[in-house]
Amino acid sequence: MSFTDQKPFVVTEEQTKVHWGGGFWCKLCGHRFKAGDTARWVYANSTPGAGCGNFMVCDKCDGPDVLKRGIADHKAMVNGCKRWGMYAPDWQDQRGQLTLPTKEAGR
């Protein structure tokens, strides 16, 4: 079994120590996972119009509409960044997927 099967799993101590793109937390409520918590990986990369990428959720935020809520949260974040002048169009590629600046690109 792998977390990429999108089934809930119990977080291990080892998983809490791995650098998961900045941290290991629920992307909907911000709960930082600790050993013994239940988490689930949500696949969103190929969802048309998502733009949010794959994400982890806790058992309290998980549910049948979790992908829809993740996409809505991402869109709200992007719109908020644009409103407050913190949005950089080069964060997204032509498909609307988030791309982070790289050292190789000189950014």
In this prediction, residue 107 carries a pLDDT of 44
pLDDT above 80 (res 93): no
% helix, strand, coil for the chain, step of 5: 25, 15, 60
In this prediction, residue 19 carries a pLDDT of 66
pTM: 0.65
Percentage of the residues of the chain whose pLDDT score is greater than 70: 68
Helices (H), the chain: 13-16, 66-83
